[in-house]
Structure 1
Amino acid sequence: MSEEGLRRIRVIGIGSGDPEHVTLAAVRALRTCEVFFLLDKGARASELTRLRRDLVAEHAGPGHRVVEAADPRRDRSPASPARYQAQVVDWRHRRADLYERLILDELEPGRTGAFLVWGDPALYDSTIDTLEEVTARGAVPFTYDVIPGVSSVSVLAARHRTTLTRLGRPVRIAPGRQVAGAGLAEGEDVAVMLDVGAALTAHRTEGWWMYWGAYVGTPEELLVSGPLDEVADQVLELRAAARERHGWIMDACLLRADGPGPRPAGAGLRGPAG
């Protein structure tokens, strides 16, 4: 089959919540798509679906369709590392089943569909891996491309008026479970993009600085910065209250060895954003 007759999928990064962080490339990509696949994560996260719908309504071309489907559920209760890995692998296989069905049943050959991904799908997201699994199965031929977006950690650093990297030093990007299990290495900087609570529950290390943010880029934005051992409990309380209030939470933090660096934002709480 020629590429012209293939289904086409566009994986579009839409930023972390601020409509102004949707790039011009993303807007142009949205206008080329005829079918938008939105995954429903349940009533408690309905705001996420609404935000995607609003984005499509504002930028998509005439005659487009929106197809919603329930995102496969997975057990998010604490588990051993091996059990957690098995849970995630199983969830990704079930997601691949769903993506395969959506592309086959809802997108005609030669047409273009889209998955809208928070932040930057090329940085920290499973959509690309899921589409690769569907491709490997060979049941539905398609091509896809990826439009990068503004990541939550980029917004986090900008909000705190700092940088992710420092002169001559790398930054490690890791989930909180990994940080909680492996610990914090002397002299490193770590951007935690998932399970932030696990990292903060495990560590109150002196000499480290934390920049934390939740719902960055939205009117509900919360920001805290300060010595890790002094503000970790405050952040954990804020996370719990925010999750209860919204039904979901998206947060990230930058853990920085040796203090805040040359341009600290100053300790304390800021938010919601104005």
Structure 2
Amino acid sequence: MAGSSQRPRRESGRPDGTGKPAAGAGRRGSQRDGRPDRNARPDRSDPRAGGRNDRRDDRRDDRRGREARGERTVDQSVYDGPDLPEEITGKELDRSVLDQLAGLPEKLAARVARHLAAAGALVDEDPETAYRHALAARARAARVAVVREAVGETAYAAGHFAEALAELKAAKRMNAATDYLPVMADCERALGRPERALALAANPSVEKLSQSLRIEMTIVEAGARLDLGETAGALRTLERAPLRSVTREDWLVRLRYAYAHTLAAAGRPDEALEWFHRTVGIDGNEITDAADRISELEAAGAGADD
């Protein structure tokens, strides 16, 4: 879910979208029950020779031909989604997610839950397939906020930033949640709009986020300032954060990494080397490539006078 464990990308300070989705779904052109509209009917009021009725018959014949060949339209393929692993039941989801699906018909809710659970299971190792599972869920339950959230998070993980931003905005309209703000800001960065990322970082709701999410927004804000060439401003942004905290939480690893990266960008390689070492010292899970950055800096002569 948004806000659970988004991590910043390596050099850019962007979150990497590893927050596990708990749902996914929704597609333009779907009917009220979430199924694709496969029978969009033309206006029947003008049955001229060679007109709409004839074209409708041609389309019907073409559709029957596709069905006879076993072909699926794009909408139908999205609705079908990837194959669901037998071991995925949907019961893997948090109770809060299942509660949001409770208003759906039982069989529909079960199918949506399985696609959401599959999306959550795959988002780290195969984000594109996770995204397709989320789309299949959205095709069936586009009006459920947690489904739109899942589409947004898996789209983000797969690098589909425009889609991720649109879906997270939709989820936010539905449930008024603010945990999406750091990822939304990072999507704006990825789309080449750092000014919009900074506007989201200035949202008063950011102060009400959990500490880990506030840190993620700080990292994104610093990255946006780097995008704009405001290196000094990026450093000031990061220096206001608790860089010397003694926590073992992953957010500190990401914060220190972002600071080291920004020092390097500012032409301060010796200080960058020091902070990459500080990052490695607490990065037991190796969520960053700080060790590689140390090697690069040392090869370039950083720290040679120590």
- Answer whether TM exceeds 0.5 for this pair: no
TM-score by length of 1: 0.32
Of structures 1 and 2, the larger Rg is shown by: 2
Q: Which one has more relative contact order, counting CA pairs under 8 Å at least 6 apart?
A: 1
Q: Which structure has the highest strand share of the two?
A: 1
TM-score by length of 2: 0.29
